[in-house]
Each structure stands twice: as structure tokens, then as C-alpha cells.
Amino acid sequence: MDPAALRNRLVMATSMWRENTDEPLPRMPPGDPVEQIETFELRVVELLFAVATAQTARRVADQTWDLVHDRAETDPVKGRVVEGHEALAKLAAEGAAEPEQPPSE
């Protein structure tokens, strides 16, 4: 894989991690750079899905799709994103079905 493409993937995943958690970046074990970045991307996707709420589900869906939209259908990260989008859609629909709470005074 093109080193510039790998670097871009790492930058995107790192930015998403930092925007969504205060946890330090995970250490990458030695190994193949493609596998390292793929594993990290999957962790980011799982993190985003785990913190999604009815109010943030659409934003999370957009963020995760931005990460994988141009990848092959066989890409494992894209596969996980597509799978997770179904759950996000249900979560967003639940939020839309809930009556809006009046503001607290």
C-alpha cells in the first residue's frame, strides 16, 4: 500500500480518537504497518459506536463513513462500519421517537 495513503489513514484515525476520548493513543505492537493501522481503525470505530447516543448517532455514522467511504467492499474496517450503521440508525430513530424534554429552569 502507498505510504502516503497509510499515513493519511493513520492521521484520520488519530484525529477521530482524540476528538472522542481523553484516553491516550493505544500503543501499536510491532508488525505490518497495514495491519497495525487497520487494527487501530477498528478500535476507533468500536469506540465511536460505544459512545454513540440517540443524539450523536448521525454524527458518528458520518464520521465513520468518512473513514471508509472510498475503500473496497472487502475492507474489514468498511465491513464493520456498514454493520454498525444499522445499529446507529436504530439508535437515531429511537431518539427521534422520544418526546423532547422541556428545558430545565
- DSSP code of residue 44: H
What pLDDT digit, counting tens, does each position of 41-65 carry? 999 999 999 999 999 999 999 999 9
Measuring CA to CA, which residue among 55, 44, 37 is closest to residue 16?
Answer: 44
Residue 51's alpha-carbon distances to 21, 48, 59, 72, in angstroms, are 9, 5, 11, 26
How far apart are the C-alpha atoms of 59 and 92, rounded to whole Å? 10
Q: What band does 94 get if pLDDT is binned at 50, 70 and 90?
A: confident
Residue 28's alpha-carbon distances to 25, 39, 55, 72, 91, in angstroms, are 9, 9, 32, 24, 32
Measuring CA to CA, which residue among 58, 33, 60, 59 is closest to residue 44?
Answer: 60
Average pLDDT over residues 16-44: 95
pTM attached to this predicted model: 0.85
Decide: 38 and 77 in contact? Cβ < 8 Å: yes
